[in-house]
Amino acid sequence: MSPSGLAFRATAHSRRARLPHIATSWLLPPDISRHGKPRKPADLANHACLGFSAHADWPDWRMMKDGKRRTVRPTGPLTADNSEVVLMAAIAGAGITFTPDWLAGPALRTGKLVEVLPGWGGRAEGGVYAILPPGRLIPMKTRLFVDQIATSIKAGWRSQPRKRDAG
């Protein structure tokens, strides 16, 4: 319980994100055709990168792999304070984005995005939390809403598409 009297519930815990991601299509973005797919974080300097200015580490991308840490300061055609805008721009082929799995999951599963720099990721832990009203009696509709959000976020992290119910 916080000093304000509000409670919170962890709706999902994030793993080390598979980052960054790039859009796939039969026509690759011009900088990928010109410079090739990045093989190490320093290679991102040659590519159009999409920035998320509301990220705690912005303007840097802090990346880790096998105990190695690298910091990259990306440049590119778009910086936004809305992660969904950045994701849509990546899907449209505007550049490479540093996006968490729970947000990029559906686009990764459908092939709209692919992982670049395999094994490199952001912080090892994080999460999504629901802030709840004070007290032990949480309204049923609030409880059901939080449960649905948790289920939806976790579904976005799955590596395999969900099976649809027959009928």
Same domain, 90 and 35: yes
Among 84, 88, 80, 42, CA closest to 63: 42
Please tell me which residue, 13 or 141, carries the higher pLDDT value: 141
Q: 124-151, pLDDT tens digit by residue?
A: 566 678 888 787 788 899 889 989 988 8
34 inside domain: yes
Q: How far is CA 8 from the centre of its chain?
A: 22
Please tell me which residue, 15 or 40, carries the higher pLDDT value: 40
Domain count, the chain: 2
Same domain, 41 and 67: yes
The pLDDT of residue 151 = 85
Which pair of structure tokens corresponds to residue 165? 């119910």
Give the integer Cα–Cα distance in Å for 90 and 96.
Answer: 6
Average pLDDT over residues 6-23: 57
Which pair of structure tokens corresponds to residue 99? 């996006």
Range of the domain at 131: 1-15+125-167
The pLDDT of residue 53 = 93
Question: Would the pLDDT of 10 be above 50?
Answer: yes
120 inside domain: no
Q: 44-95, pLDDT tens digit by residue?
A: 898 889 999 988 888 999 888 888 999 999 899 999 999 899 999 988 888 8
Question: Would the pLDDT of 28 be above 50?
Answer: no
Q: 92-117, pLDDT tens digit by residue?
A: 888 888 887 778 878 888 888 888 88
H-helix or E-strand containing 71? strand 68-72
Which pair of structure tokens corresponds to residue 112? 């709209």
Same domain, 3 and 59: no
- What is the dihedral angle through the alpha carbons of 105, 106, 107, 108, rounded to the nearest 10 degrees? 50
Same domain, 32 and 95: yes
Q: How many helices (H) and strands (E) does the chain have?
A: 4, 9
The pLDDT of residue 99 = 83
How buried is residue 63: exposed, middle or buried, by Cβ count under 10 Å (0-12/13-18/19+)?
A: buried
Residue 62 burial (CB count, 10 A): 16
The pLDDT of residue 29 = 55
Same domain, 72 and 131: no
